[in-house]
Amino acid sequence: MVTVIEPASGWEFPDFQELKAYRDLFYFLVWRDIKVLYAQTVLGFSWAILNPLVQIIIFSVIFGKVAKVPTDGVPYILFSTLAIIPWSYMSESMAASSQSLVSGQNLLGKVYFPRVIFPLTSVLAKLVDFSISLLIVVGVMIYYQVSPTWNLIYLPLLVALMVTVPTGLGLWLSALAIRYRDVKFAMPFVIRMLIYSAPILYTASAIPDKYRLLYSLNPIVAVVEGFRASLLGTPMPWAYILPGSIVALLVLVSGAIYFRRMERVFVDVI
């Protein structure tokens, strides 16, 4: 039996059946990224807590104590924690996913496997850091005596949305980074700008009404506001979650199609 591997002939959607056939490789690469992440470090997985914790402390001092940014009555440490934890996951996943093909260029020209595995691996491996950093959320909620409510049932959906955002952007950016190495240098700037595009350091209620619709199209806003409402028990901000989710799905689908389209030239331009 002879298997002929041909590049995509047009704008096609990735073949997820093929991805299923390479699930063992997928699992190996995810596990490799997890093990390599903190290899030969003294603190190991403690960095998954220290990194967001330092951000929380700095932002709480600068924006909570000095600037006294209003937070709708929520203590600023709690307010920032519930945003920085999901934001840290999304920003780190985007950065890692955008460079996943460039980092794995030694494998691209040697053997065939679905190239989409590379950006997906970076996104899934970062979930370990996210899971560990949730200990900060639990600790802060216990300190401020915040009890879970029925809103907690929405948390798995918000986690799925949180994963969707860097996955879609990662597909776009990783495919672009193969051809345009400027992506590597632009990513730190983009991430610094994105942190101000969502209510991470400030509350969404500060946005003027005439800009709310445009603001709601940012899927990061949906994730951050949804996390806060889910864990604090405040009304779910569906006006942000629904538009943000639609945009996130559009970015995911278009990113997958674009990635598939560019897949045929990866080896040539790497």
Per-residue pLDDT tens digits for 191-219:
989 999 999 989 998 899 999 999 999 99
Apex 261 CA angle, 118 and 247, nearest 5: 75
Backbone angles phi, psi at 254, to 5 degrees: -65, -35
Q: What is the per-residue pLDDT for 106?
A: 73
Low-confidence ranges of the chain (pLDDT < 50): none
Structural domain includes residue 152: yes
For the entire predicted model, the pTM comes to 0.90
Q: Does residue 199 fall inside a structural domain?
A: yes
- Whether 205 maps to a domain, the answer reads yes
Q: What pLDDT score was predicted for residue 169?
A: 94
| 211 contacts: CB under 8 Å, gap ≥ 6 | none
Residue 10 lies in a domain: no
Q: What is the pLDDT of residue 50?
A: 87
Report the mean per-residue pLDDT for the chain. Answer: 86
- Report the half-sphere exposure of 214 (CA within 13 A, side-chain side): 6
Asked if residue 8 belongs to a domain, the reply is: no
Write down the pLDDT at residue 16.
66
pLDDT at 102: 81
Answer yes or no: is 5 within a domain. no
**Contact at 8 Å (CB) between 154 and 226?**
yes
93-107 burial, b at 16+ Cβ within 10 Å, e below that, comes to bbbbbbbbbbebeee
Q: Are 224 and 91 in contact (CB under 8 A)?
A: no
Neighbours of 131 (CB within 10 A): 12
Task: Give residue 269's pLDDT.
Answer: 58
239: in domain? yes
Q: Which pLDDT score is estimated for 10?
A: 55
Domain that holds residue 53: 16-269
Within 10 angstroms of residue 250's Cβ, the number of other Cβ atoms is: 13
**Domain for residue 177, yes or no?**
yes
Number of domains composing the chain = 1
